[in-house]
Structure 1
Amino acid sequence: MEIEEWKNIIEDNKLKWINLQLTDLLGIFRQVVISSKMFDEDAINLGIGKLDGSSVYGFKEIYESDLTLRPVLDTLRTNPFEINTADIITEVFDTFGTKRLETDPRYVAQKTIAYTSSFGYNSLTAAELEFYIFDEIRSWLRPLFSGFEIKSGSAGYDEKTNHSLTIKGGYYVPPPFDESIKIRSEISDLLQDFYKITIESHHHEVGGAGQGEINMQALDPVSTSDNIQRIKYVSRFVAHKYGKIITFMPKPISDDAGNGMHVHVSLWNNGKNAFYDINDDYAGISQEARYFIGGLLSHGKALSAIVSPTVNSYKRLLPHYEAPIFLTWSKGNRSAAVRIPSYHKNYERRKRIEYRPPDPSCNPYLAISAIILAGIDGIVKKIDPGDPIDENIYKMAESKLRELKIERLPSSLDKALDELLNDNEFLRPAFSQSLIELYIELKRKEIEKINRTISPAEFYYYANI
């Protein structure tokens, strides 16, 4: 976008306020609001000194906390919720605004694009964002009183009404059973009309308490990550308008489906899909695609710390909920960590790899970057992914799992962080060592904080021992 173009946008829309938006190391979307009068050529070229890095997860200590936000002009969009206001995504700069901040997640994704390009590839990525829309969430965390309550008119867990749904009974249901279709449609309309995000589809998901999914167009890793953050941002606004609350928490309901964020990836070289091979009878994929899969499986345990980054994430990664726990690959197999979508034969444009472990609590810039870097490492080192597994892995006997040498994803965030600590060299082209160490430190503190609390389940099962 040229400078004259953004000036015209400000004038034509009578903009008074600009939301400067950024993402911290843990994936939290943040913003500061400035007057449009401050949004001049100096702000564009030099950045805006409005960020205390010590108050943002993973940025700076208090003694070196002055950071600069430099707006990305191509991301300027009018805000549909606030009058005379626009949103713009920013990049974070350090050292008098002259050097990119190493822990700015968007910078990590940009370095990943540059590294991928050094091998002659362009990457296309997309994500399936799953979420629940509830009437209300209440939670208590006090020394003598803790618990939570979810209210959902869609769910028939305790009392079945005319249009309520059962546990795992919501997949592709139409109205009137799909009570959140208007909310999803409005979210999708606003994303397309105001934010120029192409939404390919949305639908009710498996979860009976109002679970939904929104699918987006495949773009480069930075644009996809920007779009994920904006989808969450818009979704929360729209849900609030309807008196609802939307949650991207990986596992809000113990016995119902969890929220995933399956990531789709393809690599392109001179306009040709590097993952496609018309002569491959199994799934129409190339040897490069197989090596990419080998990288994902080889580094899958370490990836868990980034793509499944919360304590709650590992309550989603359980058998029989279409959440992958086994480091295997296959075509059309939703019990495997890596799936090759097989809806069409000989369709180069849609040939891709789906990595299923991620959930929407992740930082999309870090998660998508880590997935690509693991795959590129597989290509560079020619890592063999082994044979595909074309059966329901959840039903396999332990003896067969051992025979086939099928490994599991880590069963907790703590174990995943141990794996990342021991296997992170493949991330180095885009993740600095200090970023990795800081990320692990922040996540260890998060685990410690949660482990100190006593859950209601512990009283339920242990109070009378």
Structure 2
Amino acid sequence: MNISAVQELVREKGIRYFMVSFVEMNGISRAKLVPAETLEALASGGVGFAGFAAGDLGQGPHDPDISAIPDFSSLFILPWRRDVAWLSANLYVNGEPWPYCPRTILQRMVKKARDRGYRFVVGMEPEFFLVRRVNGCIEPYDPMDNSDKPCYNSQALARNLDFFTRLVGYMNELNWGVYQCDHEDANCQFEINWQCSEVLDQCDRLTFARFMIRSLAEQEGLTATFMPKPFKNLTGNGCHYHMSLWDAAGSQNLFMEEKDPHGLSRTAYWFIGGILKHARSLAAITSPTVNSYKRLVTSPTTSGATWAPVYITYGGNNRTVMIRIPGPGRIEKRTVDGAANPYLACAAILAAGLDGIAEQVDPGPLFAENTYAFTVEEMKRRNIDLLPANLCEALDELEMDHVLQEALGEDYVRLYLQVKRREWDEYHNTVSEWEVHRYLTAG
């Protein structure tokens, strides 16, 4: 969208302000509010931020300002405040693209894929809880939503009709094509699904969706959380990525093969092979927090399953494997969680998949059984490995993965490892209530 088209939209829709937004390493959205009267200056120079104050962006307090220059093709008018338009931005320093900008990192990877004749198409399925804060703790907000197996519960969904019909209506105003939303596997946990699109657009949508869902929840006096594992005994929040590669024109799905029993081409199987090959290092990006690994466990929740695969497997329409084939021409990665920065996650997954294609990595046989029914030892006897058990282990894997380092940028990976190892150390040095209860009088 060029500046003239944006100016016309401002006049037609009555836009008075732009919310210029970007995400830092942890996927946290930062923004400034800019009056529409400054549109020309915004388009040419963006808006300035003190980078050190805006999260993990590779800057110190002495460094020059970061300029957030908006991509006007990402424009979404806030449906609940129609005089404000949200814009996703790329970061620049001294007029040059800033290599620590997650959106820029993804764009660089998208260009590499385009140079090979590929378009990466993705659909994302965010899960989230609606909770209340009570005495410094959180709890599912609806006391009537207390079943051990609440998934798809009609009454629980009905009690939230106002919230979800409003949310779906707003998303469809933005032409996202929402096709379903539901009560998920945990109490007061929900999921919403919209149509797939090219990867950069899909990441912008997810970033805006998180902002919108949180904003609408706050209007109800609630907190919407995408935290991977907010409750010990309940299913955690995933964000499943449905993926396919298309030709440069966007007219042919290169993952589609009608003659294959599962509707996948050789290219698709090689892409899967790449993800399996890099699965343990990918975890550092797609499951990026200490809390992420409390979702990736073999023990069940109160509902009977975590729905979060821990074994490096793929299969047909089998929700216990890491990569599911839900239908012809697409695959689903089920281990991405609600804390993942979508731009970094997609850049890393795309790099792994393209490496699989380049090396023609055979993913091996499909896994058709219930992975939850097997012990770690039994799976290892089948030569099936386990995802990392914690963030520290995942970071060690990322440090050795040169394919992902090249995709994200070696300097960026060094910063990422530094930030995330500090996070691990802070967690490891914290004495929990469990430890006090377990060890206070031991020995």
Q: Which band: TM-score by shorter chain?
A: over 0.9
How far apart, in 1, do the equivalents of 2:48 and 2:105 lie? 22
Contact 1:201 1:216 in 2 (8 A): yes
Q: Aligned partner of 2:146: which letter?
A: L
| Pick aligned residue for 2:46 from 36, 45, 48 | 48
Contact 2:131 2:138 in 1 (8 A): no
**Aligned-residue offset at 1:151:** 4.7
SS in 2 for 1:128: strand
Structure 1 residue 164 corresponds to structure 2 residue 161: no
**Aligned-residue offset at 1:137:** 5.5
Contact 1:171 1:204 in 2 (8 A): yes
| Pick aligned residue for 2:165 from 185, 188, 197 | 185
Structure 1 residue 317 corresponds to structure 2 residue 296: yes
Root mean square deviation, CA, Å? 1.8
SS in 2 for 1:305: helix
Structure 1 residue 332 corresponds to structure 2 residue 317: yes
**Aligned-residue offset at 1:177:** 5.6
How has the CA–CA distance of structure 1 residues 16 and 275 changed in structure 2, closer, same or farther, with 3 Å as cutoff? closer
How far apart, in 2, do the equivalents of 1:10 and 1:412 lie? 48
Q: Aligned partner of 1:48: which letter?
A: G
SS in 2 for 1:127: strand
Percent of aligned positions that are identical: 28
How far apart, in 2, do the equivalents of 1:138 and 1:226 lie? 35
Bigger shift: 228-237 or 238-247? 238-247
Pairing 1:330-409 to 2, within 5 Å after superposition: 330-342=315-327, 351-409=329-387
SS in 2 for 1:54: helix
Match of 2:129 in 1: 132
Match of 2:283 in 1: 304
Contact 2:27 2:340 in 1 (8 A): yes
Contact 2:6 2:72 in 1 (8 A): yes
How far apart, in 1, do the equivalents of 2:47 and 2:237 lie? 37
**Aligned-residue offset at 1:3:** 2.1
How has the CA–CA distance of structure 1 residues 38 and 138 changed in structure 2, closer, same or farther, with 3 Å as cutoff? farther
Contact 1:296 1:371 in 2 (8 A): yes
Match of 1:102 in 2: 99
TM-score of the two chains, using structure 2 as the length reference: 0.93
Match of 2:141 in 1: 152
Match of 1:459 in 2: 436
How far apart, in 1, do the equivalents of 2:263 and 2:156 lie? 40
| Pick aligned residue for 1:275 from 255, 274, 284 | 255
Structure 1 residue 58 corresponds to structure 2 residue 56: yes
Match of 2:412 in 1: 435
Q: Aligned partner of 2:56: which letter?
A: G
Match of 1:144 in 2: none
How far apart, in 1, do the equivalents of 2:135 and 2:106 lie? 35
Pairing 1:2-13 to 2, within 5 Å after superposition: 2-13=2-13
How has the CA–CA distance of structure 1 residues 184 and 136 changed in structure 2, closer, same or farther, with 3 Å as cutoff? farther
Q: Aligned partner of 2:441: which letter?
A: N
SS in 1 for 2:85: strand
Pairing 1:201-280 to 2, within 5 Å after superposition: 201-207=180-186, 209-269=187-247, 271-280=251-260
**Aligned-residue offset at 1:31:** 0.4
How far apart, in 2, do the equivalents of 1:333 and 1:433 lie? 36
SS in 1 for 2:312: strand
Count of paired positions: 433
Bigger shift: 293-302 or 31-40? 31-40
Match of 2:302 in 1: none
Q: Aligned partner of 2:258: which letter?
A: I
Contact 2:157 2:182 in 1 (8 A): no
Structure 1 residue 196 corresponds to structure 2 residue 175: yes
Contact 1:330 1:339 in 2 (8 A): yes
How has the CA–CA distance of structure 1 residues 122 and 176 changed in structure 2, closer, same or farther, with 3 Å as cutoff? closer
Q: Aligned partner of 2:5: which letter?
A: E
Match of 2:71 in 1: 72
Question: For residues 204-256 of structure 1, what are the alpha-carbon distances to aligned partners after superposition, in whole Å with 9 as ceiling and x for unaligned?
Answer: 1011x210001121111111110001110000111111121110000111111
Match of 1:22 in 2: 22
Match of 2:422 in 1: 445
How has the CA–CA distance of structure 1 residues 294 and 94 changed in structure 2, closer, same or farther, with 3 Å as cutoff? same
How far apart, in 2, do the equivalents of 1:128 and 1:17 lie? 30
Match of 1:285 in 2: 264
SS in 1 for 2:340: coil
**Aligned-residue offset at 1:302:** 0.2
How far apart, in 2, do the equivalents of 1:121 and 1:455 lie? 48
